[in-house]
Amino acid sequence: MGKKHADKSFYVYNKTRETFVATEARVADSYLRRLVGLLGKTKSWTRLGCGLWIVPSRGVHTIGMMFPIDLIFLSKEKEVVHIEEFLRPFRISKVSLKADSVLELPAHTIYRTGTSIGDRLEITPLSATN
């Protein structure tokens, strides 16, 4: 990834379920962006379609956050290897050694999209679809 993707939006498509998981995901692929993550974001971030893709990552925390989130842990091949729904503020997720990255999504996204372990996701810059 690197800085060239830092300000781009991505869409996340679940190829297994044929549904969009996020339509406005951002990437956190530098030390500082991963460290900050969603800290300081307001509840408006939780609107349908938002997301933050943390690369690389095997686990996250919600210390300092003001709202719960859903987590999708992805292998290097973007296969779902672990999920956590409704992780409340001031918690620490499981650490998954199988994960290469983690998607932070608004609460209830996993339920709404039916995303499950073993699903294959596609993460593509929005500019690639124009």
For the chain, the distance separating the N- and C-terminal CA atoms, rounded to the nearest angstrom, is 20
What's the token pair of residue 98? 């199988």
Query: Total domain count for the chain?
Result: 1
Residues in the chain: 130
Q: What is the pLDDT of residue 32?
A: 62
Which strand (E) or helix (H) includes residue 12? strand 10-14
CATH assignment of the domain containing 104: 2.60.120.1140
- Does 77 map to a domain? yes
Q: What is the pLDDT of residue 7?
A: 62
Helices (H), 18-108: 31-36
pLDDT in tens, 37-84: 555 555 556 678 899 999 999 999 888 888 899 999 999 999 999 999
- Does 4 map to a domain? no
